[in-house]
Amino acid sequence: MATKVEEEFVDKNFDGQDISGEEYESCVFTRCSFIGSDISESKINKCSFEECNFDQSRMNAAIAVSSSFANCTFTHAYLFLAQFTQCRLIGASFANADMTGISILGGDWSWSNLRYQNLAELDLQGIKLIESDLYGSDLTKANLRDSDLTKADFSTAKLIETDLRGAKLNGALLQTANLKGARMDTSQAIYFAQSHGIIVE
């Protein structure tokens, strides 16, 4: 198992490589490509990935802690049982990615593309999803307490029995979301009613 510490990679091509099980500590990756690579069970701690391509990569059971994946793409990537703890995935795209069993603990996922993703029953308490695209996603029974969902798009999403208490919902698109059994606090319920044209007196 190789360990890389404080190394910097710019425009490096890792396409199709088997780097599973490797450890990365405080490394910086800029515009690198990991298309079709195997990153399974790797440990990524305090690393920065900027505009990197993880399309069709395998990140099964990979563990990322306090790392940034800004403007990275994960199209058709496999993230089975991957763990992201306090990571920044601002502007990341997960189009058609397999996120089965993923674990997301906190962090900032603002402006990310999570359309049609299955995020049911995940503990997303305190996460930032500002202006993220969650169109058609499944958040059934997910915990979104105290999260920032400002201007997030939940159009046609399933928020069935989702816990939204304490979450910031300013400008969030919830009009066509399925909110059956969702839990809200009083101020949220008033905002939701007003967004549907109901006059609250």
**pTM of the complete model beyond 0.75:** yes
Domain with 104 in it: 1-113
Do 150 and 107 belong together in one domain?
no
Residue 100 clears pLDDT 90, i.e. is over it? yes
5 pLDDT band (50/70/90 cuts)?
very high
Q: Is the pLDDT of residue 198 over 80?
A: no
Give the distance between the most distant pair of CA atoms in the chain: 64
- What SS3 class is residue 50? strand
pLDDT of residue 88: 98
Q: How many structural domains does the chain have?
A: 2
Query: Is residue 133 domain-shared with residue 176, that is, in the same domain?
Result: yes
Q: Are 94 and 140 found together in one domain?
A: no
| Pair (2, 92) in one structural domain | yes
Task: Please give the DSSP secondary-structure letter assigned to residue 184.
Answer: -
Q: How confident is the model at residue 1 (pLDDT cuts 50, 70, 90)?
A: low
Are residues 132 and 184 located together in one domain of the fold?
Answer: yes
- Looking up tokens 């199709």 gives 16
